[in-house]
Amino acid sequence: MKPSVQSILITESQIEKRVHELGKQISKDYDKSDLVLICVLKGAILFFADLIRTLAVPARYEFVQLASYHNDTKSSGVQMIQGLYQDLFRADVLIVEDIVDTGMTLDFLLNHIESFEPTSVKVCSLLDKPDRREVPVTIDYLGFKIPNSFVVGYGLDFAQHYRNLPYIGVLDGDSVALGS
C-alpha cells in the first residue's frame, strides 16, 4: 500500500510567494541576457511552469530528463534519458531543478552543459536537502532549505505518485527508504 502524506511542509501559498520572489530576482539578474532555462524532468515541471510565467525577460527553454542508476562497481551514477536540442553556445543557462539531494544529478548536468561552452550556467532549485550532500554544488537561486525527510508534491514523487499535489508534503515515515 502507498504511504500517505503525514504533514504539509510547505503550503501552496508559501510556494507561490517564493516563486514570485525568485522570478523577480532572476528577471533582474538576466535583463539583456540570452537566457535559456533548462527544466529537469519530471520533478521540476510544476515549479518550472510557474516560475517562467513570473519572468519579465524573454527566454528560451528546454527539457532534459535524467535517471540515477546503480551497479556493482559504482554505488550510483546518472544517465541522460532525454537530452538537449538547442545549441547553448554563448547562452546564459539557468537549470531549474526540483530538489538537490546528494548533488549527483546536478553535478552530472552541470558538466554536460559546460561542454556546450555557454557564457554562464547557474542553478535554481525549489528545494535543498543539504544534510544529504555527497557532491558539492552551488545553488544560485533557492526556494526552500528543508530537513532530511522524503518529500512529495508540486512535481516531486514517490514511485511516480503524488506529483500533482499543490503543496510539499512529508510522507509517512518508515515506509520510505531515502535515496532509493
Q: Which of 104, 113, 123, 165 binds ligand IMP (CB under 6 A)?
A: 104
Q: Please say which residue, 57 or 84, places its beta carbon nearer to ligand IMP.
A: 84
Neighbours of 65 (CB within 10 A): 14
- Please tell me whether residue 162 binds ligand IMP under the rule CB under 6 A: no
Neighbours of 97 (CB within 10 A): 26
- Please tell me whether residue 98 binds ligand IMP under the rule CB under 6 A: yes
- Please tell me whether residue 64 binds ligand IMP under the rule CB under 6 A: no
Neighbours of 52 (CB within 10 A): 15
Kindly name the residue from 50, 92, 98, 101 that is annotated as catalytic.
101
Task: Provide φ and ψ at 126, rounded to 5°.
Answer: -65, -45
Q: Is 101 a catalytic residue?
A: yes
Could you tell me which residues come within 8 angstroms of residue 96 by beta carbon, excluding any fewer than 6 positions away?
37, 38, 39, 40, 44, 47, 48, 51, 124, 125
Sign of CA dihedral 152, 153, 154, 157: positive
Question: Rule CB under 6 A: which of 140-159 touch ligand IMP?
Answer: 150-152, 156-157
Rounded to a whole number of angstroms, the minimum distance from the CB of residue 22 to ligand IMP is 18
Q: Please say which residue, 48 or 150, places its beta carbon nearer to ligand IMP.
A: 150
Query: 97: closest CA among 152, 130, 143, 56?
Result: 143
Rounded to a whole number of angstroms, the minimum distance from the CB of residue 97 to ligand IMP is 6
- Please tell me whether residue 100 binds ligand IMP under the rule CB under 6 A: yes
Q: Which of 22, 50, 103, 139 binds ligand IMP (CB under 6 A)?
A: 103
Residue pair 15/167 in contact by the 8 Å Cβ criterion: yes
Give residues in contact with ligand IMP (CB under 6 A).
43, 98-106, 150-152, 156-157
Q: Could you list the active site residues?
A: 101
